[in-house]
Amino acid sequence: MSAAAVRVSGLSGGYAPGTDALRDVEFAAGPGQIVGVLGPNGGGKTTLFRALLGELPVRRGDVALPGRPAYVPQTERARLDFPVSALDVALMGAYARTPWYRRVARADREHAAAALGRVGLAEHAGAAFGTLSGGQRQRVLIARALVQDAEVLLLDEPLSGVDGVSAARIEAVFAELRGAGRTLLVATHDVRQAAEWDRVLCLHRRQIEYGAPAAVLGPETLRETYGGELIVLPGGARAVGVGHHAH
């Protein structure tokens, strides 16, 4: 890899004074790479994203990024009772580049409509966000990240609990972004899915392993990552974390 898009060196930090929620994280990901971020609940996946967003008190190490990353939260983080349409939400991706005294540019309005089209929701542009299904809401939040047009995208379990149509659309968008040279960090519980991506980062309050899936996803690493939460099925990487389907 020539120029790394995301470079994290010796990162440790956390919100509570004196305790590191996450420590010893060290990896670099290049343009056009999808990194699967694996780990149990509370293992530090969201904490890592908070650090990359500049919201985590970092005690040691540092983070280098090409500009502000786009962040796609788990859908339940967004308010269902907020009076916005799908298009309004997609348009929020353009707010940071719109001065407060200006209207959102026409090009950005077109960009937002096109982004909804890319996630397969063109005909739902006017629908109230709260009336959409979970998978559709996830796609709207991804459209918002597309409008933001960042080099690096952080996605927090974008495929958890979404319907098949939504999952297929989301994976197609990932492929497009990878082709366009964007870097994606995707938190996931699905080891099999991560095995198809370019890199995997295994976290359990610290970095367990980072590298190509074939090299990293052995039973030993998975056991260390998931501890007692994991059932390893026969066949190596065919593994599922348990106890995380509640949400």
Residue 73 near another protein by CB under 8 A: yes
Kindly state whether residue 107 participates in binding another protein, applying the rule CB under 8 A: no
Q: How far is residue 51's CA from residue 60's CA, in Å, rounded to a whole number?
A: 11
Number of residues that bind another protein (CB under 8 A): 34
> Would you count residue 179 as binding another protein (CB under 8 A)?
no
**What is the Cα–Cα distance from 17 to 40, expressed in whole angstroms?**
23
- Contact partners, residue 99, CB within 8 Å, separation at least 6: none
CA atoms within 13 A on the CB side of 153: 32
One residue of 9, 19, 41, 98 binding another protein per CB under 8 A? 98
Q: Per-residue b/e over 32-42, b at no fewer than 16 CB within 10 Å?
A: bbbbbbbbbee
Using CB under 8 A as the binding rule, whether residue 245 contacts another protein is answered as no
Tokens representing 236 are 């190596």
Strands 6-13 and 22-29, sheet pairing? antiparallel
Contacting residue, 100, 179, 220, 234, with another protein by CB under 8 A: 100
Cβ-based nearer residue to another protein, 96 or 165:
96
Determine which residue in the list 72, 115, 216, 222 makes contact with another protein, applying CB under 8 A.
72
Q: Decide if residue 69 touches another protein (CB under 8 A).
A: yes
Q: Which is nearer to another protein, 55 or 110 (CB)?
A: 55
What's the min distance (Å) between Cβ of 27 and another protein?
20
Asked if 41 touches another protein (CB under 8 A), the answer is: no
Residues that bind another protein (CB under 8 A): 53-55, 68-73, 77-85, 88-89, 92-93, 95-98, 100-101, 128, 130-131, 141, 144, 148
